Chain A
């Protein structure tokens, strides 16, 4: 078998050691690898650098790792949903690197695509430009930012096959495809694990080359802001 198919989440995360850099897919609580995160909480691995758009909420997602003080450094774009995050930053327990969301997505894409750095207009003239190279192309200033890689990437997909090919559902795709490509070891939590050949090759979002291990799991899929249409 080319890919490792795990039967327990504990086993799926057992190689993630203290001081590892991990990338975790998701936007808010949508598309997060819920059970892989829970297994990391159980594993008590510490001093993690976590790269993810958000840091969960106080009692779910990456917020659980935060609460357990397992994260030393967080690289993300928006962390405002989490009171414990604020407390740890103010107490000097947590280092944070805020990156514009599009820059974060592209840094991850670049990391997985073998591009060490690139230029983007986002952040020119703002506090995040501090210490970064500015270069002018065709009359416009750009900041140089570096690509990001991780020791482990944890992603969530709707379907995965035994060769690691992944298909995501709706906006649960978000950062997952690029994160899958940027990890030295990528582990995919899938809602449904299927046999190779089941997925239409034309409809695969993440080719299996990026994925080292898979595990099937059942997610809670918590909703942060339930917004309904009022009956007319």
Chain B
């Protein structure tokens, strides 16, 4: 039985599930868009540090009007505050800590992911190229890369494929995919379905996936 939730609810559901990837003590980079929403759901018992690639280690909450500093933004160019214990650095140092794999986790958006963990999320041929920003660096930079996205595109076609059709952001970089319907791990032996979302069956998830999906022996159902 397929579920129909409105778009905002679907995004919230994915963001809340993605939050569970964040462990106490983690340094985390959240991509622009839906990944940024994950910050809204971080459990209060976790002490974590959010890194922003424009040179802020320790993103705080959004500012009240009287706290706005035009010199203080996140990578999405939104005004933010600095968390208690935050530090600033230059862009080169920020990406050095990314490239040097000092981040525990990065949660990014995706257009397509392949069965070998290739990610496409920066350009659609024929549309104006806006640029990759920091995505190509970040996918090589965190110990774990989690992609969050809808399971299918607006035409109902799978976004998880044998091969990406769009130009790549990185090759073999994705560790885990979280969609509105499932959690799928990218392993050396291919894609493994580890969780199915509430309201979806294994069969429905398999049919909506454009690559071979093994079902984990420890599959969990209705986890989110």
Contact = CB atoms under 8 A, between A and B. Distances in A.
B56 A124 contact: no
Interface residues of B, number: 54
A106 B73 contact: no
A212 B180 CA distance: 55
B140 A121 contact: yes
A100 B136 contact: yes
A78 B136 CA distance: 12
B109 interface: no
Contact of B88 (A77, A98, A120, A170): A170
A100 B169 CA distance: 10
Contacts, number: 175
A226 B133 contact: no
A: interface residue count bin: 35 or more
B134 interface: yes
Given A100-B136, A171-B71, A125 B170 contact: yes
A53 to B, nearest CB: 7
Contacts of A80: 128, 130-131
Given A108-B92, A120-B99, A100 B134 contact: yes
A128 B171 CA distance: 13
Interface string B154-173: 00000000000001111110
A165 B99 CA distance: 29
A209 interface: no
Interface stretch (A5-13, A14-22, A173-181): A173-181
A228 B68 CA distance: 8
Contacts of A98: 129, 131-132
A149 interface: no
Given A78-B131, A225-B79, A228-B79, A126 B92 contact: no
Contact of A27 (B79, B91, B138): B91
B118 A102 contact: no
Interface string B41-69: 00000000000111110000111110011
B90 interface: yes
B91 A228 contact: no
B132 A228 contact: no
Contacts of B128: 80, 86, 89-90
B198 interface: no
A28 interface: yes
Closest 5 CB pairs of A and B: A80-B130, A102-B95, A102-B137, A125-B171, A221-B70
23 contacts: A27-B77, A30-B54, A30-B71, A30-B72, A30-B73, A89-B129, A100-B132, A100-B135, A102-B137, A103-B137, A109-B92, A120-B99, A124-B170, A171-B52, A173-B89, A175-B92, A177-B90, A178-B91, A224-B73, A224-B77, A227-B62, A228-B62, A228-B68
Interface of B: 52-56, 61-65, 68-73, 76-80, 82, 88-92, 94-96, 98-99, 118, 123, 128-141, 167-172
